[in-house]
Amino acid sequence: MDDLYAVIMAGGQGTRFWPFSRQAKPKQFLPVISEKTMLEETIERLLPLIPASRIFTIANRDQTAQIKEICPFLPEENRLIEPQGKNTAPSLLLATAAIYLRSSQAIIAALPADHLISDPHRFRHKLTAAAWAARQTNSLVTFGIPPSFPATGYGYIQFKQSAQQHIEGEPFYPVEMFKEKPDLATAINFLQAGNYFWNSGMFLWQVDVFTHELAQAAPEMYASWPQIISALENNDARRIAEIFEKLPAISIDYALMEKARQVLMTTGDFGWSDVGSWSSLLAVWPPDAQGNSVRGESLLLESTGCLVLSPHKFTALIGAKDLVVIDTPDALLICRKDLDQKVRDVVKYLHDRGQKELL
């Protein structure tokens, strides 16, 4: 499809992979899964379907400099700079406007820069189908991930199973409601009900559908649309910064998707993971017979279920069980696997103490 564009949201500040990730090097700029950065993986996964000329990125100025280094083959003008971090809604407003000026007929796939997709072939197939669905039905389209456990760390998408329609051979369902991250009991109910999938944070829209839905869902935000178009046409970065200044810092989920009238969901059955925490890597890095996933020279005795990333020194574990061990030149993390969400508390502690060099 010649009108399919992608915008890669690369502005994340992820703290969950501390101390490996830092403010200056968030997850998308690190080789978490393979030897390549997650951003590279994300873009290279698209290239068989979407040429570099139709792939955009959006991130802050410093991050965009890194994107240029990592992906020099992307056209300069496709690397959009957000004047300040204001969550995904303002970013995608800007990106959609920029792409609109390239092609008013564009279908835009908004994709995070730091997700793992283990079956890229299938992903491209679903992306194509979703693009056609966005065009044919004038809907916003999203991918729902079939839940493998009652996660409390994801939002859910409630969909109408009975109203399935097929587009390009793939099933699409009308979305009934976006649900915030549930508590465990609610998550279990969701799983039993069967028509609640995880919100993947990946969305597609045709530009005029986006503006149409935005006008209704977030009229105050929609009001800045013509201003952004005009500022982009005049290549006026200062004006864009002024507009951004006034936009609310909210997510596209909250500003648009949850309130939109017509949203379709299709199954994200392409080996997705948001790789949202250290322990999630245990499912990604092939573990050995003792269930340990290790990177770096090491010796593990009587140790099971451990994730070890210690590339700079010899590391010995004795009797360790279900531990995450991350060693970097200036910080060491040892964390029980099931408590890895608390890494944020460490980052907050360092932040509160002003230890910027460790953030």
Site membership for a second copy, residue 323 (CB under 8 A): yes
Site for a second copy in 3-32 (CB under 8 A): 19
Site membership for a second copy, residue 121 (CB under 8 A): no
Which residue, 108 or 350, is less far from a second copy as judged by CB? Answer: 350
C-beta of 318: minimal distance to a second copy in Å? Answer: 4
Site membership for a second copy, residue 340 (CB under 8 A): yes
Which residue, 60 or 328, is less far from a second copy as judged by CB? Answer: 328
Residue 202 burial (CB count, 10 A): 23
Closest CA to 142 of 46, 253, 28: 253
Site membership for a second copy, residue 158 (CB under 8 A): no
CB 124 within 8 A of CB 45: yes
Q: What are phi and psi of 249, to 5 degrees?
A: -85, 85
Closest CA to 198 of 184, 183, 178: 178
C-beta of 298: minimal distance to a second copy in Å? Answer: 9
- The token duo for 313 is 């020194």
CB 201 within 8 A of CB 178: no
Closest CA to 81 of 259, 235, 300: 235
Among 192, 286, 301, 352, binds a second copy (CB under 8 A): 301
How distant is the alpha carbon of residue 43 from its chain centre?
13
C-beta of 233: minimal distance to a second copy in Å? Answer: 49
Closest CA to 58 of 113, 5, 14, 109: 113
Site membership for a second copy, residue 62 (CB under 8 A): no
CB 141 within 8 A of CB 172: yes
Among 15, 279, 293, 310, binds a second copy (CB under 8 A): 310
Which residue, 289 or 318, is less far from a second copy as judged by CB? Answer: 318
Which residue, 237 or 299, is less far from a second copy as judged by CB? Answer: 299
Distance (Å, whole) CA 333 – CA 319:
17
C-beta of 348: minimal distance to a second copy in Å? Answer: 10
- The token duo for 33 is 């899964």
Site membership for a second copy, residue 359 (CB under 8 A): no
Any idea what the Cα angle at residue 115 is, between residues 113 and 119, rounded to 5°? 120
Site membership for a second copy, residue 281 (CB under 8 A): no
Query: What SS3 state is found at 110?
Result: strand
Among 119, 216, 338, 356, binds a second copy (CB under 8 A): 338
C-beta of 306: minimal distance to a second copy in Å? Answer: 9
Type of residue found at 25: K
* Residues that contact a second copy, how many (by CB under 8 A): 36
Ramachandran quadrant class, 306 (left: phi over 0; alpha: psi -120 to 50; beta: rest): beta
**Interface region with a second copy, contact rule CB under 8 A, candidates 112-120, 171-179, 264-272, 329-337:** 329-337
C-beta of 94: minimal distance to a second copy in Å? Answer: 37
C-beta of 14: minimal distance to a second copy in Å? Answer: 17
C-beta of 286: minimal distance to a second copy in Å? Answer: 22
Distance (Å, whole) CA 5 – CA 206:
10
Residues that bind a second copy (CB under 8 A): 19, 299, 301-302, 310, 313-320, 323, 325, 327-336, 338-340, 342-343, 345-346, 349-350, 355, 358
